[in-house]
Amino acid sequence: MTSTKSALMGGLFEIGIGVSDLESAAAFWRAWGYRTGARGTLKAEQARLLYGVASDVTSVRLNHQSATHGLIRLFEWARPVGAGLGHAPLRSTGSRWSVHRTADIMNVFNHAEAARQQGRDIQLRGPLINVRSPARGYAQQPFAAPIRASHNFQMTLPEARVVAMQRFGVSMARYGTINEESLLRATEGCHMGLVVTGEDFGIFDFYTEVLGFKAGKKVHIDHEPGYTPSEFFDLQPGEHFTECDFEDPASGDTPNTQLPGRLRAFLIHNARPQPDLRPQSRPGVLGNCLYTVRVGELTALRKAVIAYAKHGGARDVTEIMADEFGTAAFSFTAPDGYAWAAIQA
């Protein structure tokens, strides 16, 4: 697999989002510092061959300053096939979302709360605040030294699922670049999530063994009232999850050397029954529906995807063809059931 690993260009390239109106969606993401880039189209038959969706589609890429990863691709389908994830809980199998660093999390909250009070279809959670405790290896000195803490705020809308984060007492200089001119003073997508319930974390081996991500930090979270990860995932007594970061191969191991474009995968153990929403997390639906990677050796990667046999292997592997922007690409469903597309760099 060495050749396909070396072919990965950075980390997670794009967050694919189905939208009902390109202009209003672009305006929402402009507040986060994105700007409209390339635009392209596919006819229904081409879209069926590449994405499995027999509908004309117009796509717009949203760029973020000079960022090369954590970008957004908006899909406007002539005939959407579903409403998507919407306000489904973050813990849902099939869940996707993007996390963006901000210079002022309360400013993000102010906008979201004002939208809620105006009756817009938005659901909020937080901001939740974690002061890094001595039990987790942090010797805090209140009123004597800077406090290391994290603030996180989650919002869901019918066509967007976003978490804003702000860190205190730790430098994350390379982990996304804040657009100081944007309304929310935010970065590109620093990390993007996905969730599966089960017991075998090997379901995610595909991301290192085939796509070529670097395995990063792996942690285990138990039910703990008041602790942000436990609260965001609504863990109940007896439930726990394992979380692992899949990184840009060039990303460092310290906060100051980490790079954006991280995939963060969650496996919830002992989970109570819940619907499988992966069919509502695929191209053709509204809202978060696809992740993409860029590679230097597209044909070699496709062969590796087809050859991978663990956990049932990948499915729905298409031929290589031109995407909406005229770039060679193919799509597939990873062994964990999530839809991806790979693009020639």
Task: Express each pLDDT in 285-303 by its tens digit.
Answer: 999 999 999 999 999 999 9
What pTM, to 2 d.p., does this model score?
0.95
- DSSP class of residue 312? G
Q: What pLDDT does 140 receive?
A: 82
| Residues 4-24: tens digit of each pLDDT | 444 899 999 999 999 999 999
Q: Where are the domains of the chain?
A: 2-344
- Between 6-10, 226-230, 238-242, 277-281, the lowest mean confidence (pLDDT) is in 6-10
Q: What pLDDT does 7 receive?
A: 82
From 3.40.50.150, 3.10.180.10, 3.40.50.300, 3.30.429.10, which CATH number describes the 2-344 domain? 3.10.180.10
Q: What is the mean pLDDT of residues 84-96?
A: 97
CA–CA distance, 195 with 188 (Å, rounded to integer): 21
Q: What is the mean pLDDT of residues 142-162?
A: 94
Q: What pLDDT does 1 receive?
A: 41
Residue appearing with tokens 């596919």: 42
What's the chain's average pLDDT?
94
What are the phi and psi torsion angles at 142 (to 5°)?
-55, 135
Does residue 328 contact residue 297 with C-beta atoms inside 8 Å?
no
| Residues 119-133: tens digit of each pLDDT | 999 999 999 998 866
CA–CA distance, 242 with 15 (Å, rounded to integer): 23
Residue 66 has pLDDT above 50, yes or no: yes
